[in-house]
C-alpha cells in the first residue's frame, strides 16, 4: 500500500469513529426530557439576537426612512387589470 492510501484510510476511520461512538449515547434521566427544549430555546435566542442586530444595522444605515414613499411605489406601476370582470366595468345601470 502506498502512503496516500494508508493516510486516506486513517482519515476516514478517524472521521467515522466519533459518529459511531455517539450514535447510541442518549441519556436516560430527567434531564433528557429537556434536551430538545434546550436546543429550541438556544436556537430561538441565537436567531432572534441575529435578527435584532440586522434590524439595528439596517435602521442605522437609513433603510427605514420615508416608508410612506416606499409603500406608494407599487401603486404607481401600471398593469393590466386581471381581477375585475368585464361586466363590472360597464357604465350601464342595473335594472
Model pLDDT, residue 13: 81
Question: Lowest-pLDDT range, 49-58, 60-69, 86-95?
Answer: 86-95
Cell digits of residue 60: 442605522
- Confidence grade of residue 26 (pLDDT, cut at 50, 70, 90): low
58's CB contacts (< 8 A; 6+ apart) are: 64
Cα separation of 83 and 34, whole Å? 51
pLDDT at 27 over 90: no
Question: What DSSP assignment string belongs to 53-70?
Answer: HHHHHHHHTTTTSSHHHH
- Confidence grade of residue 58 (pLDDT, cut at 50, 70, 90): very high
Specify the length of the chain in residues: 95
CA 5 to chain CA mean position, Å: 41
Model pLDDT, residue 47: 96
Cell digits of residue 86: 368585464
Amino acid at each position: 500500500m502506498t502512503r496516500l492510501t494508508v493516510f486516506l484510510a486513517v482519515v476516514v476511520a478517524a472521521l467515522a469513529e466519533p459518529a459511531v461512538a455517539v450514535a447510541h449515547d442518549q441519556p436516560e434521566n430527567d434531564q433528557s426530557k429537556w434536551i430538545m427544549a434546550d436546543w429550541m430555546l438556544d436556537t430561538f435566542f441565537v436567531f432572534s439576537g441575529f435578527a435584532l442586530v440586522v434590524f439595528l444595522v439596517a435602521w442605522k444605515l437609513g433603510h427605514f426612512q420615508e416608508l410612506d414613499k416606499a409603500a406608494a411605489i407599487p401603486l404607481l406601476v401600471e398593469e393590466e387589470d386581471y381581477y375585475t370582470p368585464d361586466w363590472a366595468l360597464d357604465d350601464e345601470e342595473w335594472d
